[in-house]
Amino acid sequence: MNIWDPTHECISRDELEQLQLERLQATINRVHKNVIHYRKQFNDLGVIPENITSLADISKLPLTSKDDINRNYPYGMFAVPLREVVRIHSSSGIGSKPMVTGYTKNDIRIWSNLVARFMIAVGVTHDDLVQVTFHYGLFTGAFGLHYGAETIGASVIPMGTGDIERQIMIMQDYKSTVLVSTPSYALEIAFRMEQLGINPKSLSLKVGLLGGEPWSDNMRAQIEQGLSINATDNYGLSEVIGPGIAGECSCKSGLHIYEDAFLPEIIDPDTGKVLPAGAEGELVITTLTKEAFPLIRYRTRDITSLDYTPCACGRTLVRMKRISRRSDDMLIIRGVNVYPSQIEEAVFGAAHSEAPYQIVIERVGAVDSMEIIIEVTDKIFSLELQKQGSFLESVKKRINTITGIDVSAKLVGARSLPRQDGKITRVLDRRQI
């Protein structure tokens, strides 16, 4: 079996814990010295870096949230001067501003190697042709997978997102062997191929490296059949590094977390208390190698559990269960993170006042759609028809500016949205994943 970095992926637990402690102490020293936010938090809790002498001491440190990152927008939590940063990425924040992350040259090198791990783990080699269908831009997905594939010496086809039929044509003509995408995009490609009468077996595809959004075993089976590939799962989030935090091996019984680079904990999302090994709760991650943008006890809001039993693949790194839900209200629409609060900001901003609204999400085939239904208020009602049209346009434009996604919007009669105890259900997610 091929293992990219056996020294770290098959390390004994004792050695791993020693390495983690050394890296944790170095990270704590760095953020204490260079990041005002952490120094202040440590001071408030009476923590001095010298007090962290075991991995268990991590519970003395404060948790970090998306709010903290947002409050320090854009560069306040960087631990190096900008001149040492060679790359900036960002992802959706809670409000109208994104969360900005940075990488030093060394961060990029480590990131590429972490991504290489899950590629090699599911059988991708330097002989493969890797078609990357993520959007190349501020999103971490495309660059992360791109560099990982180059690191193992595979040939990268940097397609980006776009017309599905063009993706299929390139797949056919360039003889792509690996598909990099979100699970829903992979399913969309499979559906379109079926419509076009293309036999998936006529393609050269063999592996799907899929991640960026939750997906079920049922979806996996549909993708595997529809594209005639081995569909594998990988996990990450932009704030922490992007893809390359965890990935499946060929056993497909959980995702190995790359614990030499990330220290995972599971907490109770309501109390913040650390839960025992095996319990389900919110994944919290401390970065152990990052230079530009280290994070201490970052609340991912993703719900999972950790399995420390040995894996048949020979890797000793802990496995996390596939993520199925979150402890906050973040939605992932076509791979893009969206908060209901951002939609509300757009609706109220366009209406210049509060307006009753509901967000409806559907999945038709494999494609997510979001519709904003807004009740006519006296103020909106008094607008002539043409102005109502431009109000809806303004809502859609604002949502697109904040989140980058296209939505539809419509007006309905006053008090026509269903209410429970006087309240409108803000989000109606009708997707069956």
Q: Which residues bind ligand DLL (CB under 6 A)?
A: 91, 140-141, 211-214, 233-238, 242-243, 300, 302, 323, 326, 332, 337
For the CB of residue 42, give the shortest distance to ligand DLL in the complex, in Å: 26
d(CA 21, CA 288): 9
For the CB of residue 33, give the shortest distance to ligand DLL in the complex, in Å: 27
Buried b (16+ CB within 10 A) or exposed e, 247-266: bbbeebebbbbbbbbbbbbb
For the CB of residue 145, give the shortest distance to ligand DLL in the complex, in Å: 7
Closer CB to ligand DLL, 263 or 380, in the complex: 263
Find tokens 């519709």 and name the residue: 371
For the CB of residue 332, give the shortest distance to ligand DLL in the complex, in Å: 6
Closer CB to ligand DLL, 230 or 238, in the complex: 238
Distant-in-sequence, close-in-space partners of 76: CB < 8 Å, separation ≥ 6: 35, 36, 37
d(CA 67, CA 178): 37
Closer CB to ligand DLL, 213 or 375, in the complex: 213
d(CA 203, CA 166): 14
Cα 365–Cα 135–Cα 151 angle in degrees, nearest 5: 115
Helices (H) and strands (E) in the chain, counts: 12, 23
Closer CB to ligand DLL, 226 or 254, in the complex: 254
d(CA 34, CA 40): 11
Closer CB to ligand DLL, 4 or 134, in the complex: 134
For the CB of residue 34, give the shortest distance to ligand DLL in the complex, in Å: 24
Closer CB to ligand DLL, 323 or 373, in the complex: 323
Closer CB to ligand DLL, 52 or 403, in the complex: 403
For the CB of residue 304, give the shortest distance to ligand DLL in the complex, in Å: 9
Q: What is the Cα Rg of the chain in Å?
A: 23
332: phi > 0 → left, psi -120 to 50 → alpha, else beta; which? beta
For the CB of residue 220, give the shortest distance to ligand DLL in the complex, in Å: 11
Q: Which residues pair with 235 in a beta bridge?
A: 246
Q: Which residue is nearest to ligand DLL (CB)?
A: 211
For the CB of residue 394, give the shortest distance to ligand DLL in the complex, in Å: 26
End-to-end CA distance of the chain: 32
Closer CB to ligand DLL, 182 or 357, in the complex: 182
Closer CB to ligand DLL, 32 or 256, in the complex: 256
Closer CB to ligand DLL, 90 or 358, in the complex: 90
For the CB of residue 182, give the shortest distance to ligand DLL in the complex, in Å: 7
Distances (CA, A) of 189 to 175, 200, 227, 367, 374: 15, 10, 8, 10, 33
d(CA 332, CA 161): 17
Closer CB to ligand DLL, 226 or 244, in the complex: 244
With contact defined as beta carbons under 8 Å apart, do 188 and 196 qualify? no
d(CA 180, CA 335): 13
With contact defined as beta carbons under 8 Å apart, do 10 and 316 qualify? yes
For the CB of residue 325, give the shortest distance to ligand DLL in the complex, in Å: 9
d(CA 265, CA 185): 31
d(CA 232, CA 220): 8
With contact defined as beta carbons under 8 Å apart, do 191 and 366 qualify? yes
For the CB of residue 313, give the shortest distance to ligand DLL in the complex, in Å: 18
